[in-house]
Amino acid sequence: MAATFAWAQTYGTSPGTVASLGISGNLFNYKRTDDATAANYSTNPVTAGQKSYEVWLRGKFTGTFNKIDNVQFWRSTDFSPNTGLSILWAPATPSAYATPVTGANECVSAVPTSDPGTANVRCRGGLASGLVASGYTDYIVTQLSTTSAAAAGDTSLAVFTMNYDES
Amino acid sequence: MDNLNVKIDSLLKTRQDAMFNYARSTSELIDLGVKIKNKETDDTTVPMSFEPYLEKYNISNLEFEWEAKYKDGSILRQFEGEEQRNFSHIDQERLASISFISNFNWPSEEGRDPRIIIRLNWETGLFEFQNGFINQDTRAYACMEPLAGNKKLILFTRKRFSSSAGEINDQYKEFFPFEDEVFYYNRFVIGYETENGMKALIVMPNGNIEKFEK
């Protein structure tokens, strides 16, 4: 199988707990509780005008490979409808975990909405460093930000993409 | 005029447009070589225009695998039985050629090897092809004017995974069976660089071959 990719989420008070999310299905939801359970969003809703807890994700690579590099992340499709909804991220893709919050913290700009063309997710602290053994990328931190115009109920789906080179 | 009929007609049109767009976009994704996997059924779509994927594909899950041929005639394969190799296992000093070979059959003329092969002759620095789509400009780029200088091998797979976050409102869920899908798209890059530049090709999972530029 060469390298095997899966999403991993870290949650809880630093140093946090790591949960493997796999790769398919609805892997996570934005909500007002900090855990790695997608299903409990409806009992922890984000009130219109608030932010969700940050979601701290990493790409996890295992298996046989020489190098994983050129890691890119973007949002392929937005929520539809998306009125009052925006997804923020931490463009620095930090290598150190910090306890997720609901306020303004790591997520300072809009998540990329198209193929960035070059690496935008760090590994081992650098955009060119890559992984040379099984391990994780640095953190991809995202957060749902809402305005009072956001509609009640579920948001619908947004599609996120991970792209990388494997040798 | 009955306003409800207008509303129903509008909804029928919306639904018809959505179904057509769904069918068309799915067809185009599959033709590009994007694999769509449904988590619940574990089904993965592949291009219907190709012959069935070879059994090897089910092992590696890759449309193409590399094969290195050494000057002494021995061959090193990326996947061989239980063995899995990566770039670091290739001895470039001993290399005669390096190839990407498809794990699916190409609809070729009867009697011909139906697999797609992109071979880089390591000694001449020029490419050779069997099957696949490649335009004349790219073919000229790949088959003429090799780069002078000491060659460093370029060989990697570019992988893309797309999956969803969020939920469909409960009132619509029974009509929306697609949320557990993941989209895979692999591309295969082969070539070399010297102090005078780079010459490399990117092979798409549908057999299209293009010039690779970083």
Each residue of B149-170: b (16+ CB within 10 Å) or e? Answer: eebebbbbbbbbbbbbbbbbee
Residue at token pair 């996997």: B37
What are phi and psi for residue A165, nearest 5 degrees?
-105, 135
The full length of chain B comes to: 214
Q: Which residue has the higher pLDDT, B46 or B104?
A: B104
Confidence of residue B182 (pLDDT cuts 50, 70, 90): confident
Indicate the pairing of strand B95-105 with strand B115-121. antiparallel
Q: Name the A residues in 12-71 with CB < 8 Å from any B CB.
A: 23-30, 41, 63-67, 70
- pLDDT score of A24: 74
Nearest CA among B173, B161, B111 for reference residue A4: B161
Distance from CA of A80 to the nearest CA of B (A): 10
Distance CA A80, CA A151 (A): 11
DSSP 3-state of B172: helix
* A165/B155 touch (CB, cutoff 8 Å), yes or no: no
Contact flag B164-A153 (C-beta cutoff 8 Å): no
DSSP states along A134-150: SEE---EEEEEEE-TTP
B155 Cβ under 8 Å from any chain A Cβ? yes
3-class secondary-structure state, position B93: helix
A5 touches chain B (CB under 8 A): yes
In the predicted structure, residue B59 carries a pLDDT above the cut 70: no
Tell me which chain B residues have a C-beta less than 8 angstroms from the C-beta of A23.
Answer: 161, 163, 182
Minimal-distance CA residue of chain A relative to B62:
A1
Mean pLDDT of the residues in chain A: 94
For residues B51 and B106, give the distance between their C-alpha atoms in angstroms, rounded to a whole number. Answer: 7
A7 contact residues in B (CB cutoff 8 A): 163
A135 band by pLDDT with thresholds 50, 70 and 90: very high
pLDDT of residue B58: 63
What single-letter amino acid sits at B164? S
Task: Return the pLDDT at A114.
Answer: 95
pLDDT band at B52 (very low <50, low <70, confident <90, very high): low
User: Is any Cβ of chain A less than 8 angstroms from the Cβ of B152?
Assistant: no
Q: Is the pLDDT of residue B12 over 90?
A: yes
Selected residue with higher pLDDT from B199 and B213: B199
Contacts of residue B106, defined as CB under 8 A and 6 or more positions apart, other chains included, come to B50, B51, B114, B115, B116, B131, B132, B207
Q: Do B169 and A5 touch (CB under 8 A)?
A: no
The amino acid at A23: I
pLDDT of B73:
97
Q: How far is it, in rounded angstroms, from Cα B84 to Cα B154?
A: 19
Round to whole Å and give the CA distance between B26 and A89.
29
Q: How far apart are CA B8 and CA A18, in angstroms?
A: 49
* Contact criterion met (CB < 8 Å) for A23 and B182: yes
Q: What confidence tens digit (pLDDT) does each residue in A28-65 have?
A: 899 999 999 988 998 999 999 999 999 999 999 999 89
Rounded CA separation A26/A9 (Å):
13
Q: Is B29 on the interface with A (CB under 8 A)?
A: no
Nearest to B35 by CA among B22, B45, B50: B45
Q: Judge whether residue B183 has pLDDT over 70.
A: yes
Interface contact B159-A166, CB threshold 8 A:
yes
> In this prediction, does ipTM exceed 0.85?
yes
pLDDT tens-place string over residues A91-102: 999 999 999 999
Rounded Cα gap, residues B123 and B120, in angstroms: 9
| Strand, coil or helix: B33 | coil
Q: Do A23 and B161 make contact, defined as CB atoms within 8 angstroms?
A: yes
Better-predicted residue by pLDDT, A72 or B184 = A72
**A153 neighbourhood in chain B, CB within 8 Å:** 169
